[in-house]
Structures are given as C-alpha cells and as structure tokens.
A and B are shown apart, each in its own frame.
Chain A
Amino acid sequence: MSADSETPASRVPDTPSAFEQYRIPLGLVVLVLFLRPVVSSDLLLGFEAIANRMLIIMLFVAAFNLLFGFTGLLSFGHAMFFGFGVYVPAIVVLNGLGGLAPGGSVTFFAGVALALLSVGVFSYLLALLIVGKGEIYFALLTLAVSQAIYFIALRDPWGLTGGSNGLTRGTLPEFVEQTRGQITIQAFGASVDWYWVVAVVFLLAMSGLWQVVRSPFGRTLIAIRDNEQLARAMGIDTTRYKVWSLTFSGLLSAMAGVLLEINNSGAAIENLGVLTSGDTVLMAVLGGINYFFGPITGAFTWLFVEDFLTDFEVWHIPTTELAIVSVDLGPALQFWQFFLGALFVVVVLTSPEEGIWGYVRTLGAGVKRRLEER
C-alpha cells in the first residue's frame, strides 16, 4: 500500500443506521401482528384460519427463494423437502418410534428431529450430486427426484404413507386440540392459540433466513448468482456454497412442512406433488425473487386471491336505497386461476425480477420523495 494514503476510515461508506439494518426482522414482527386481524376482517376474507396457512406457505416460499432468488438455482421439486416435513412427523406420531408411544408429545418432537435430520442429509447429498450440472439440468433433476419421491409415497410402502389418501387420522400429538376447526396447543397447563405458535416458529425461521442472507456467507451466494464465473476466478468455491444453500433451503422448507402437518392434521399426497413445487416457483416470481419480502408478498397475494375469488360469488350492488342488484359471479370465478394467471403474466412481462414487492418498493420510494420535497 502506498504510504502517503490518507486514513482509510474517512473514505469508507457509512454503515446503514440500526433501523435500516434491522428493518427486515421488524417488518416480520409487524406482519405477524397484523396479518390475522387484517385478513380475517369481514371486508376481506372473514375467517381466521387462513392466516395460519399463509404464514406457513410464506415460510416455505421464502426458503425456496434462498436457493432461487439468492443463489440463482431454480428447483422444480421443492415439494420433496416440504413433503418430508409433512410426512415424517405424521408417520412417526401415527406409528410411534422405538419405545415412544404413538400420539405422544415426545414422539412428535422425535418425528420433527427425524424429519429435519433426514432432510438435511438428503438435501446435502442430493446437492453434491446435482449442483454442478448447470441450471437446466439442476431444474430437471430436482423435478425428477421429487417425482420419484411422490410416486414412492403414492405406492404406500410398508403401509406408512397411506398412498393416495395420505395420512389423516391419528397424526396429531396429544398437545394439539381441535374444536370446530380451531386449533389450540395445550402446554404446561395453558392453552395457546395455534396462530401464535405458528407465528413464533415463523419468526424464528425467517430471522434465521435473514441472518443467512445478510451474513458474509449470504453475500457470497448473491455474488455466485450474479456472476458464477467471476466468483470462481475471485477464489470462491461455488460448488460448496451452492450445496449448503440447498441444504439450508431444504431444512427451512421441512420446517414449514412440519407446521402444515399440524395445521392440516395430517399429510396429503398433494404436499409432495409437482403442483406444490410449481406453485412455489410462481409465488416467488409473482412476489419478486430479488427481495427478502418478495416471496412473502407472492405467497400472500396468491392465497388471498385464491380465497377471495373462490368465496366471492354474488356481488351486491346497491342501486337505490331499497333495490339491490345482485350479480352472480360464481360461474366466472370458478376460473380464479385464470385471473391469478393474468396477474402473473402482467407482473412477469413488466418486471420479471422485481415482482409485486418491487412495485411496492418503487411506489414507497416515490411517496417518500414527494414527502421530502414538501
């Protein structure tokens, strides 16, 4: 280094303020606090249980996006990791494990541990095999492997997976109580609303994901996504980073799967299916793969539109004080996927990597500028 250089500290860009640095976890807390009251208001969907499902799918899509948006690897078979998380605890709770009785709380947690362990090992080994094969082959190989797992589960090996019926009875541990569709968790003599349990797991897992993305490790993943050739030339072992990215993504997806197992009281074969994988890709792209909140936005929009449109059958238009014109939209809205598809096409054509969250950011930046000009 030349000796006459000034003190280097003066030229280093300022690190963002604490608020800037921690706005993502803050945003997650706000999301969790407001999601249920907002979506369950009568003006919107009018029922609460949807919020549980939303958080779970958001976590799954965000986990998927660690691999797609932040590492540049498109997996078309992410349902396999998700499905592991759904099936393994269900199978363990139903059949017991070793000396652990079926239906026990400890049995369930053993099942969760087994699910995470097996997904971790499975995704790590799978990644070692396929991560170096190039983008297209990676996508096709994930699709092929997940289809193989789907068909194995469909054959009901040793009577474990229930075949096309899935597992619906006796798959919940004793601490889960269901009354009229409401799930509560009985722990230490108290009764906790299922939503808050989902919320805590969601916050922990998402914070973990956020920490991965902002760490030096995560920045390396982004560099690999941006320019793999350059990353390698600059001394980055791209293969090992991709392998670990897939492993973390698989683990967090399985986490989401475990939550869904309780939420849906059991496992369904669709959880492993190619549509689940495909929807995940679409949700991520719809929300915007370049942003942390992109997949969250995508999952929210998807599930919201799906429920809103399927429930929204009759449109009452008050014309005068007494007369109300009612239009039956049911026949048109059974094709809700068409409307979602149209939205998807618009988003992809206008800004494929920004998605809906990209629009929200642009809009927010514009409003901020206007306010500052005043």
Chain B
Amino acid sequence: MSDEVTTGRTDRPASVEPETDPQSAALGVENLTRTFGEVVAVDGASLALESGELRAVIGPNGAGKTTLFNCVMGTLDPTAGSVYLDGRDITDAPEQRRPHLGMARSFQSNQLFAEQTVFENVRLVVQTARRGAFSMDLFRSHYDVGRDRAAEIAETVGLGSQLESAAKNLPHGDQRRLGIAMALATDPEVLLLDEPTSGMSPGATTQTAQLIEDIRDDRGLTVVLVEHDMDVVLSVSDRISVLDRGRVIATGPPEEVQGDRTVQDAYLGGMREEL
C-alpha cells in the first residue's frame, strides 16, 4: 500500500496500480479485457488484492464493473488477460469450479432458489461445498447433510429467525443478506459482492456495511465490493479502485481516491462539492 496518505484534494495524476504483482496476489487481475462486438466493456484492467483486504470497485454506470466482476468469477470468459487466485492462474477454470477453489460471489439482482426455505438455500450450498461440484450422493437423506453449518451461517447474517420462510417471501434487504449467506456457505477465501446494498433502506444499508466488515474481520476474508453507495464505500473499504470506460484509472485508500482530480473529473463530476 502507498505510504502517502492524502486527505485533501490534490492535483497530482491518478495513482495507478500495480502496487503488488497480480500473479502473487490473493486475488489478481492482469490486463483483463472483455469486448462485446465493437464495445470494449473492460479494457486492460489490472487489480492486485492483498490477503484480508477489503477493496471497493467503483465507477460511473457503464464503466464495466459488472463485466469485470463476471469475468473474475468465470460467468463470462475474458477476451484477453488473466485472473489469479492465491498465485494460481484460474482464468480457464469453469464457473462451477471456482467456489471449490475458494472464491464466491453474491449477485447484483437477487438470485435465490426462490421456492425453497432460507434454510434450504444455505444448506444446499453447504452440501455442495462439502461434496464437490458433482456427487452421486444417493443413499442418504438431505436431512443428514449440512444442517448445523447452514443454521450457523444464516445466524451470522441475521436470518436466524427466518430459517423456515420461503426465500421468495423475504423482504428485499433480507434476500440480499441471504445471497451473502450463500456465498459464505461455500467457505470462501475471496468474496465478491456485487452491489450488496442496492435497493436497501438507509438503516439496512448501514447494517449490511457493518455485516461486511464483521465478516471480513472474523474470517480474514479478502473482499471485493462493487458498490454505488459512497458512504458504504468510504466507511468500509481499505482501498478503492476506480473504473472508467473499462480502465482502472486510480487505486488507493479512500481519502486519496476521494481527493484525486482525475477521479473527480471522470466519476464524481457534480458531486465534487458535496464530498
């Protein structure tokens, strides 16, 4: 991390990574590019996260945050570039392998097993984490697998009292938390959260920010947080990476990025006075 911590506005150019080598980082992205036809959604982005770091990725709408996210998680194949997890090149690992390698995600929209109970949603992921991507586990009842652990994880995110509710009947904010619980149930080392507070009330947003910090502190996870809410970003993240038109234009501690002129021009725009 940079020694220089600037608190006020500076006119110096954007601080661009790499501080560390992506290939040896806890989670590394190296020159990742993804195009859709003519459109370049992500353009040579590089990130290097230290173990235990909480990194926010911000950027204006259409900056390529979700595309980058999907490329890192294997939902999309990158056009060029590589993704490293703990020093291993996992660019070609299929999506369903990644939770077993130690990385998990939550979705921007609520993706749940909607008809099932909260408990079954989490239990199923615990089961998958224990038994692997495929298991011919035919001779037991599902009542014998992962119940204690599932209840424990649901409790961590504050859903302990709603275990028996159908996932589709939960309020929006609780559904988002259930998404986080399911990602945790894979027992990850790296957790990627795609706008975990979107659509939440201010109160629930604060709670969720606290939850994300707690999870990181208790489990020593490396967290990537794609987020719109600047309060959350500024309060929880160790470092912030700013994405603009598919490029990482700045990376640094919150105060530094906040004061960076390039960032303000590209992203914060009219909000400059406010900050």
A residues sitting closer than 8 Å to B (CB atoms) are 1-2, 5, 8-9, 11-13, 15-16, 21, 211-212, 214-220, 222-223, 226-227, 229-230, 232-238, 240-241, 244
Contact = CB atoms under 8 A, between A and B. Distances in A.
Contacts of B112: 227, 230
B216 interface: no
B75 interface: yes
A232 B155 contact: no
Contact of B137 (A215, A229, A236, A238): A215
Query: Lowest 3 CB-CB distances: which A-B pairs, in order?
Result: A235-B99, A237-B133, A216-B137
Given A13-B164, A21-B141, A212-B138, A233 B105 contact: yes
B213 interface: no
B98 to A, nearest CB: 7
Contacts of A214: 141-142
Interface in B112-134: 112-116, 119-120, 124-125, 127-129, 131, 133-134
A234 B186 contact: yes
B160 interface: yes
A230 B75 CA distance: 10
Interface residues of B, number: 53
Nearest to A6: B155
A219 B96 CA distance: 17
Contact of A12 (B145, B148, B156, B219): B148
Contacts of B151: 8, 11-13
A217 B137 contact: yes
Contacts of B125: 234-235
A8 B148 contact: yes
Contacts of A5: 152, 155-156
Contact of B119 (A9, A13, A234, A241): A13
Contact of A234 (B99, B155, B218): B99
B182 interface: yes
B135 interface: yes
Nearest to B130: A216
Contacts of A233: 73, 75, 95-96, 99, 104-105, 107, 111
B134 A11 contact: no
A233 B100 CA distance: 10
A222 B100 contact: no
Interface string B144-160: 01011111100110001
A216 B135 contact: yes
Contacts of A222: 113, 116
B234 interface: no
B139 interface: yes
Contacts of B236: none
Contact of A2 (B96, B139, B143, B156): B156
Nearest to B185: A234
B190 to A, nearest CB: 14
A338 B185 CA distance: 51
A223 B121 CA distance: 8
26 contacts: A2-B218, A5-B152, A8-B149, A8-B152, A9-B148, A11-B152, A16-B143, A21-B141, A211-B138, A211-B139, A214-B141, A215-B142, A217-B135, A217-B136, A219-B142, A220-B124, A223-B113, A226-B115, A227-B114, A234-B125, A235-B98, A235-B128, A235-B186, A236-B134, A237-B96, A237-B133
A59 to B, nearest CB: 19
Contacts of B111: 227, 229-230, 233
Contacts of A237: 96, 133-134
Interface in B74-118: 75, 95-100, 104-105, 107, 111-116
A225 to B, nearest CB: 9
B100 A235 contact: yes
Contacts of A227: 111-114
A212 to B, nearest CB: 6
B15 to A, nearest CB: 33
B163 interface: yes
A161 B19 CA distance: 73
Given A220-B124, A226-B116, A227-B113, 13 more contacts: A11-B151, A11-B155, A11-B163, A21-B143, A215-B139, A217-B137, A219-B124, A219-B127, A223-B124, A227-B112, A232-B96, A235-B125, A240-B134
Nearest to B146: A216
A357 B148 CA distance: 33
Contacts of A230: 107, 111-113
B12 interface: no
A216 B142 contact: yes
A365 to B, nearest CB: 15
A326 B199 CA distance: 68
Nearest to B123: A219
A337 B170 CA distance: 43
The CB with the most chain B CB atoms within 10 A, among A12, A15, A211, A240, is that of A12
Nearest to B100: A235
Contacts of B135: 216-217
B133 A235 contact: yes
Contacts of A211: 138-139
Nearest to B118: A13
A216 B146 CA distance: 10
Contacts of A216: 127, 131, 135, 137, 140, 142, 145
B111 to A, nearest CB: 4
A357 to B, nearest CB: 16
B192 to A, nearest CB: 10
A9 to B, nearest CB: 6
Contacts of A1: 152, 156, 218-219
